[in-house]
Amino acid sequence: MRFFEEKRREVMKHIEKYMLEKMHEFLKPIEQIWQPSDLLPDSTRDTFFSEIKELQESARGLSYDLVAVLIGDTITEEALPTYESWLSMVEGVDKDQHSGWMTWTRHWTAEENRHGDLLNKYLYLSGRVNMRAMEVSTQYLIADGFDIGTGTDPYRNFIYTSFQEMATNVSHRRVASQAKKDGDTLLSKMCGVIASDEARHAKAYKHFISKIFEVDANEAMLAFEDMMRKKIVMPAHFLREVGLKVGQTFGHFTDAAQRLGIYTAVDYVDILKELIEDWQLESRTELNEAGEKARDYIMALPNRLLRVAERMKNPMLEYKFSWIHG
């Protein structure tokens, strides 16, 4: 075990240099990137109240399921303290505040933090949301924590973040598209800029794993297989409302997303296929017997999952969320 931990630390040190060189491509300068106030009504202007009225009129046209998905996405984004503390515990991350990986974690967290700020303010102004019920769910999600099956292994963690950032990109992009159809161009723009951030972050984590494959292909393959056998669980997996047990709300949230086509079982398969291609699994060499078996399992998985996804029926059972006013 100690040998593997040492190897992980060596690999993390190796790709840290690459990360720092490319950091300006993966994360935007703070002075230049958008901020929530750029997209929200400006309280210093005389038009503030008329802008809020316009925002609320547009928000009234959003479907119930879309509001539910948007709230679930917002709560997920607001659970950032959990994600930052989790990434800081990864093997190979020097806890010195000025180290490379801690610098990455703080800057990534700072970019992500804007997403929850923006969506929370929009939902507050929309008049559609029981904000206290939503805030309780956010506090629960942070307090309950989550187990994504990665432990402190950087390989498994970066595989997870690659998959998850791609999934959040899909979700926010689809919410943007649906909001536009429902007549809310402001929300559409908001979710569009968030989706763009998630795409950049996905690109970063995918590159980190590519670099790991270059120097430790066999262990990277085994880590990928392990994560896919466990299945990638969403950060909101433990989502709950007042009076409910941990995770009881998550199924209703995903049902709403599935009904609207915001994020589906087919999307999960598509992300897996993209990662297989991006990480060039088919052409990887230097694999031992266990590595070859891991690759065979991963390569066959998309077709297996697709057959399951095609048999799944669209969940029709509607659920009344405590988050949504009225």
Q: Which of 91, 112, 216, 267 is catalytic?
A: 112
Pick the catalytic residue from 65, 73, 182, 198: 198
Quick check: is 201 catalytic? yes
Query: Residue 9, class by beta-carbon neighbours within 10 Å (0-12 exposed, 13-18 middle, 19+ buried)?
Result: middle
Residue 310 among the catalytic residues: no
- What is the Cα–Cα distance from 44 to 108, expressed in whole angstroms? 30
User: Is 241 in the active site?
Assistant: no
Decide if 219 is catalytic.
no
State yes or no: is 168 an active-site residue.
Answer: yes
Told to judge if 325 belongs to the known catalytic residues of this protein, a careful annotator would answer no
77 catalytic residue (yes or no): yes
Active-site residue among 65, 76, 91, 201? 201
Q: Which of 168, 249, 254, 264 is catalytic?
A: 168
Out of 16, 197, 225, 255, the active site residue is: 197
Active-site annotation holder among 105, 115, 153, 255: 115
Q: Active-site residue among 16, 65, 73, 77?
A: 77
Residue 165 appears among annotated catalytic residues: yes
Catalytic residue ranges: 34, 77, 112, 115, 165, 168, 197-198, 201
